[in-house]
Structure 1
Amino acid sequence: MRLTMYTDFSLRVLIYLGAKEKNELSTIQAISDAYGISKNHLMKVTHELGKLGYIETIRGRGGGIRLAMDPKDINIGQVVRHTEDDFHLVECFDCKTNTCVISPVCGLKGALNRALFAYLKVLDGYTLADFLQQKYKIANLLFNEQMDI
């Protein structure tokens, strides 16, 4: 299983915002600079994270983005489900485009489907807060500043 760049960037944005002090605003440009990611990609990601309710966008002068909920309330499995466009690990997962002639009798689809559910179940066991246990070290790396512990 490989996550798309979109999901990877979504998770990185959430970690970045979670490493900030509560209610502190950030900019897409600052996140782009910290990770070396295209600002255009991050604009799409942050727009979708806002629509999903994970982040809050403050418009206008002095505006920015921040988490819309506590990191312990952001389930990683749900974020992945919301940001991945499909989970078709093999062709036969998509009934509309499947042309595999052995699909009716092949056990591979079932095994891969169970593996996918196990993968997502593991992610369901984590929240954003779990990835922020070293928040100050993350902040130091991302913001190039020393935060008080």
Structure 2
Amino acid sequence: MQLSVYSDYALRLLMRLALDPDRLVTIQEVADSYGISRNHLMKIAYALGQHGFITTLRGRRGGLKLARPAEEIGLGEVVRVTEDSLDLVECFNAQTNSCVLAPHCQLKGILGEALEAFLAVLDRYSLADLTRQPGLLAACMIPSQPIREEGLHGQRDPR
């Protein structure tokens, strides 16, 4: 199983916002921090706002911030929302299934169990778990947009 780039960027965006929870962060800051497309992030931010993960403020002094504490944002919830489909194989979708093996194949059940296990592991973790070492995360980002020292969950930036 491989997550889409969309889900990857959504998780990165949420992680960046969790690093600086007390201020509005711009899409451009996030794009610069990760070296990724601003246009893709705009679409992702809109969707994350629609699903209640982030709040957005438009305009010159606008930006993004988490809509709820990082501890309340489950990774499984984010992946379920950001993945177009979790259909691992054709037979997972009854409307489009044309597999001739479907009536007697055991693979669907095994893959379904594996998918449930994958999501169950993600459900055990929150966004806060991904940002417990903010200094290390910040050190990995492209340094054009430094994170304010007080934005690191109350910890000072070790850089």
Counterpart for residue 135 of structure 1: 134
For 1:44, the equivalent position in structure 2 comes to 43
Distance across 2 between alignment mates of 1:143 and 1:31: 10
Map 1:3-18 → 2, pairs under 5 A: 3-18=3-18
Q: Distance in 2 between matches of 1:102 and 1:10?
A: 36
User: Compared with structure 1, are the counterparts of its residues 24 and 140 closer, same or farther at alpha carbon in structure 2 (3 Å cutoff)?
Assistant: farther
Could you tell me whether the CA contact under 8 Å between 1:23 and 1:67 is conserved in 2? no
Deviation at 1:143, TM superposition (A): 6.4
* Deviation string, structure 1 residues 43-93 (Cα, Å, up to 9, x no partner): 000000111111111122211111111100001101111111111111111
The residue type equivalent to 2:102 in the other structure is S
Other structure's SS at 2:141 match? helix
Q: Deviation at 1:3?
A: 0.7
Cα distance in 1 for residues equivalent to 2:139 and 2:99: 50
Q: What letter is aligned with 1:38?
A: S
Contact 2:15 2:127 in 1 (8 A): yes
Cα RMSD (Å) of the superposition?
1.4
Question: Unaligned stretches of 5+ in structure 1?
Answer: none
After superposition, residues 54-69 of structure 1 pair within 5 angstroms as: 54-69=53-68
User: Could you say which residue in structure 1 is the equivalent of 2:102?
Assistant: 103
SS of 2:95's equivalent? coil
Instruction: Give the structure-1-normalised TM-score.
Output: 0.93
Could you tell me the TM-score, scaled by structure 2's length?
Answer: 0.88
Deviation at 1:6, TM superposition (A): 0.7
User: Is the 2:74–2:125 contact (alpha carbons within 8 Å) kept by the matching residues of 1?
Assistant: yes
Q: In structure 1, what is the Cα distance between the partners aligned to 2:59 and 2:86?
A: 38
Count of paired positions: 148
